[in-house]
Amino acid sequence: MTLAATDNPAGTAAGATPLIELRDVHVTYKARGTSLFRPQKVRALDGVSLAVYRGRTLGIVGESGSGKTTTSRILVGLEEPTSGEVLFQDEVVRRFTLPVRRRLGRVVSVVFQDPATALNGRMLVREALQDPLDVHGLGTPEQRRARVRDLIGMVGLPASALDALPGQLSGGQRQRVAIARALALEPQVIVADEPTSALDVSVRAQILNLLTDLRDELGLGLVFISHDIQTVRYLSDDMIVMNRGRIVEEGPAEEIFASPRDPYTRTLLGAAPTLLARSATEFSPMNTELGAP
Ligand code: ADP
Ligand code: MG
């Protein structure tokens, strides 16, 4: 089973067209540190198919090395599949030319784990937010300045933050700026790859709530990636469990939590037995932060 549009998994926007879809995507890397002449191959992705819908959150969970970041890089066009297809804007992409990748980069935007590395430390927040608009030559100078003021407000920061350098902000504020930058080009999909893993526990819930609010306000599709299955549960409508580059389980998040079929999913759940005992409605990331073992 896949989350492809044709399958209409229960609870998914039945009949809706995905904003972006991957079909049977494989990615093979040359293993790091192996012989130049007889390189070992790493199968980072081994036949991944998924679909992202407007107004819904697709959670992707798996341990480190399972292929989550490779999936996010494929979705934003930073990486090219070794084989398989990417579908967006009524187009099946098999050749990843520069124009295709640029278009993909406007439709899908990514927020990575560490805002410190995502933002240039010498660029004012104002410049970081205006940069994508300049690169794509969007609007007049006055329209760009207005867009920058809108963006900072959308992520809940005061206009005064525009004159700060990233180093003058807290980790949570920096991640808000990274989210604002990801929104600059009005993407249809945001991919958040471990967006709170580098943050203090005290601000994690705020960032997760911000992402969900933005999804609803802007009608985005959200892909939320985490190694933490409980956070994925809290946020996701649909869920994918990855292990060694493959999807081992997928479906509506609540169904997977109610009756996980794959042994690997059960293992991930078993890592947090006290939380499993709680009902989904009781659960919030705040509870994990305060009460989890
Ligand atoms: P995750 O985000 O789930 O931790 P990744 O997608 O980063 O997983 O990595 C999946 C696999 O691909 C891992 O075995 C990783 O070591 C390997 N990998 C990722 N990027 C590269 C690369 N550029 N070169 C070689 N191997 C890589
Ligand atoms: Mg990763």
DSSP line for 176-231:
HHHHHHHHTT--SEEEEESTTTTS-HHHHHHHHHHHHHHHHHHT-EEEEEES-HHH
Whether 19 maps to a domain, the answer reads no
The CATH number linked to 181 is: 3.40.50.300
Range of the domain at 179: 52-82+98-277
What pLDDT, on a 0 to 100 scale, did the predictor assign at position 2?
A: 44
Whether 61 maps to a domain, the answer reads yes
- In the predicted model, is pLDDT for residue 156 greater than 80? yes
Q: In the structure encoding, which two tokens stand for residue 96, read together?
A: 């990843």
User: pTM for this structure?
Assistant: 0.87
- Asked which of 33-37, 88-92, 130-134, 194-198 is least confident by mean pLDDT, the reply is 33-37
Whether 172 maps to a domain, the answer reads yes
Q: What is the pLDDT of residues 258-285, one digit of tens each?
A: 999 999 999 998 855 444 444 444 444 4
Tell me the average pLDDT across 100-111.
Answer: 93
Whether 152 maps to a domain, the answer reads yes
Phi, psi of 246, deg, nearest 5: -120, 155
207 and 43 in contact (C-beta within 8 Å)? no
- C-alpha 146 to ligand 1 mean position (Å): 39
Whether 6 maps to a domain, the answer reads no
- C-alpha 244 to ligand 1 mean position (Å): 10
Whether 190 maps to a domain, the answer reads yes
Ligand 1 and 69: CB distance under 6 A: yes
Ligand 1 and 78: CB distance under 6 A: no
The structural domain count of the chain equals 1
Whether 75 maps to a domain, the answer reads yes
Phi, psi of 4, deg, nearest 5: -60, 155
Q: Using CB atoms within 10 A of its CB, is residue 15 exposed (0-12), middle (13-18) or buried (19+)? A: exposed
Whether 34 maps to a domain, the answer reads no
Select from 30, 42, 66 the residue to mutate for testing ligand 1; criterion: most ligand atoms less than 8 Å from CB: 42
Q: Please list the residues that pair with 78 across neighbouring strands.
A: none
